[in-house]
Chain A
């Protein structure tokens, strides 16, 4: 069945880096634009980044632009989020989400905690 599984979360100090991965299965990743969306503890949803199905466009939230990089490897059916210069306010659950316009399938999420 269609599924995405995130990994790579953990506890990290401010200023350090972390790389999240999302393994897609049950569909052809190359056919879909993909997002990262995050949710701080007890808060609402915050869109983070999107990459077009062919990698031709990438957009970022102002809060992460210049620090985070979204990428994809369709040969490995994997979406990634490189997170540099992490801040305390980047703490939360990070979801991998399918489809640029619908957000129709969500992973279970991976938790990132930025703390000294």
Chain B
């Protein structure tokens, strides 16, 4: 099973300032078809998660461009250029390269 490790687990951020979340996998997420199936999800309290990025850096419909996904192999990063109030919640990375699919522990983003 591929283990996904996120850091930090909690991130207090000032409104308008940048934020960054790291996700590392215990083995390469490059699939035999050449794609890297690493996604980022955001969950607000009381709501289901919603997709932000898939295949590392492909932005899902409706996701603001202040969000950026990057990385390769085993190291991935989600960046927010300027945090807004609506960005609070928990962010998860997820791999679907190899089953069982696995999630990171989650990173809680909160406003200072």
Contacts and interface: CB of A to CB of B under 8 A. Distances in A.
Interface of A: 35, 44-47, 50, 59-62, 95, 100-109
A-B interface, 10 closest residue pairs, ranked by CB to CB distance from nearest: A59-B99, A106-B48, A102-B54, A47-B101, A45-B103, A44-B106, A101-B37, A104-B51, A101-B96, A61-B100
Given A44-B92, A45-B106, A103-B96, A35 B51 contact: no
Contacts of B94: 45, 47, 103
Contacts of B70: none
A47 B103 contact: yes
B51 A102 contact: yes
B106 A106 contact: no
Contact of B49 (A45, A50, A60, A100): A45
A47 B49 CA distance: 13
Given A101-B54, A102-B54, A104-B51, A44 B39 contact: no
Given A101-B37, A102-B39, A103-B39, A47 B51 contact: no
A103 B51 contact: yes
22 contacts: A44-B92, A44-B103, A45-B49, A45-B92, A45-B103, A47-B100, A50-B99, A59-B99, A62-B1, A62-B100, A100-B96, A102-B54, A102-B96, A103-B51, A104-B51, A104-B54, A104-B60, A105-B51, A106-B48, A106-B49, A107-B48, A109-B48
A4 to B, nearest CB: 10
Identify whether the interface residues of B are mostly helix, strand, loop, or mixed. Answer: loop
Interface residues of B, number: 25
A106 B100 contact: no
Contacts of A108: 48
B85 to A, nearest CB: 22
A81 B73 CA distance: 33
Interface in B19-47: 35, 37, 39, 41, 43
B37 A59 contact: no
